[in-house]
Structure 1
Amino acid sequence: MMKSLKNSSIYKKLALKLSSNSDSADSIPSADSYESEAFVATKELAAQGNLAALFDIGLFYHKGIEVGQDYSKAAEWFKKAADQGDSFAQFNLGLAYDTGLGVRQDYDKAAEWYTKAADQGIAQAQSSLGYMYQHGQGVYQDYDKAIDLYTKAANQGNLAAQHYLGISYKTGKGVYQDYDKALEWLKKAADQDYSESLFEIAYSYAYGEGVAQDYTKAAEWYLKAADQGHVASQHNLGNAYRDGNGVQQDYATALEWYTYAANQGDAKAQINVGALYYQGQGVQQDYAKAAEWYTKAANQGDAQAQFNLGVIYNDGKGVRQDYAKAAEWYMKAANQGDVYAQNNLGHMYAKGQGVQQDTAAAKEWFGRACDNGSQEGCDSYRILNQ
């Protein structure tokens, strides 16, 4: 059974100070050199020292509104406004340094500008700065400061801060572990459809973390996040339908959710799509399609997919039988510690299938498998060692 994925990457947005109807597709310029009348007029105001105009020019360049998108120029204009104390510009300049958009990534400078904006009460900056303190990016790691900043931002309704405050209470980092408070903060963000919090609540119910284990509730929360395109939730909802945990077992629906996640590049979901095609569960059996999906995951470096693809080539199901390719894929998986691939590679060296027969190499791979807990590897090693 596939292990469930957890994904807790922070989501940061630009602080949009400008409200404009020019976000429509028809108004986006097609040429990088294009400058609209609105842009020219705003630039004239900026030349006169208008602080809002300085920020808006930066925003125009960042979003590609009224002018060709240019992150470097956006950062330059944000800097002009930030130097004059514009809090939104300070945040966006911090974000540029944090993410490396238009400037060289520099966590120290990101923390510096986030701090200036956070001190002026900008919730996004407080949340982002809290994240940096939590992870020691550009500042010394300080869980207490992270919690203080998260709390300030969360009380202003910042969803990322509410989420990470919930995670902090769940893990007990910077605060005493308190599952009730964790769920309280996670639900505040989840009630506003913050997908990371929806996923975290689902995961808590699935594994009984701070709540009574409840697969039905887990599936309900996964569905809410999955409907928003949250990859890990789509994958885990596929698991629920495949295994019948909290929902009626339905391989076709499992395949549907796995495919959503797989099409977003999730390697584990790609493996599970391949497995359903290979086994003919929820779909007509199709070894060729199974091979296609295994290949997608294998090319991302997933050891299980590499092993499965080795089996496909070894058996000639969905592809032409090719022992050399089988050995190649087994080798990739074996080098990542996959015990099944290590055993199979040992057998190939012992028999000379797809590789030159080499008893020493066979013993080496059987020995590695044995060291990784495989009795089959131990037995095969013993036989060759006699």
Structure 2
Amino acid sequence: MQSQELFSLAEAGDTNAQFHLGAMFYEGRGAAQDYAKAADWFGRSAGGGYHEALNMLGVMHYHGQGVRQDFTRAADCFRLAERYSFNDEPLYDDIAADWRDRLLSPEAVDNKRQFLHRARVLGGEARYGIGSGLCGTAAETAVSHAARGLFGSAAALGNGRAMYSLGVMCRDGQGVRASKTRALMWFMLADRAGLAKAREARAALEAGMQQAELERAEKLMRRWLRVYPADTELAAAA
């Protein structure tokens, strides 16, 4: 589609055209890169119900691209996109990569504290997505701890995929002391959330455990559910 035609459609209120015009200015593709114009067109598109634009607005507010940097507004955009079932994990990976660099800086402790504080306003799926992106360098202590913190807070909101990821970390000793009992607890919770691979992981782990360990995992799961009784976020089988 020619730029002039795209612009005409966007001006006429076509949300798809508005989104692609925003992307054109954001990427500097077919026009000079202009973050302010990109944010304007993404905003119009999102206002018309084009949910993919919400994620792009979230990224721009997160990085302060063409708009004032505002982590709360970024979180609101991600949360709305999540509510409308639009999840773009590569965007979460982009944010995770940004924070991975910060977490490994000399000010890692302060950055980790800021990171987890800002993440608290995100929805469960966004927390899971960013945590997954951070796990790319799980060998780094600061990063793996931040990922675990994100998974834990997402699990508290009922996110099944975060529960499964915590199970894997506990089973394999990734950034945490290996514990079959705690791993089983997380797999059981993820299984309750409807995650197919959690059921498989649970069965494989249970096969090599003693009865006392199984009972301990069951007790831990019931304790978790008493503290966090919220409905689980049903996760699509992966």
TM-score by length of 2: 0.48
Higher relative CO (Cα under 8 Å, sequence separation at least 6) belongs to: 2
Structure with greater helix share of residues: 2
TM-score scaled by length of structure 1: 0.32
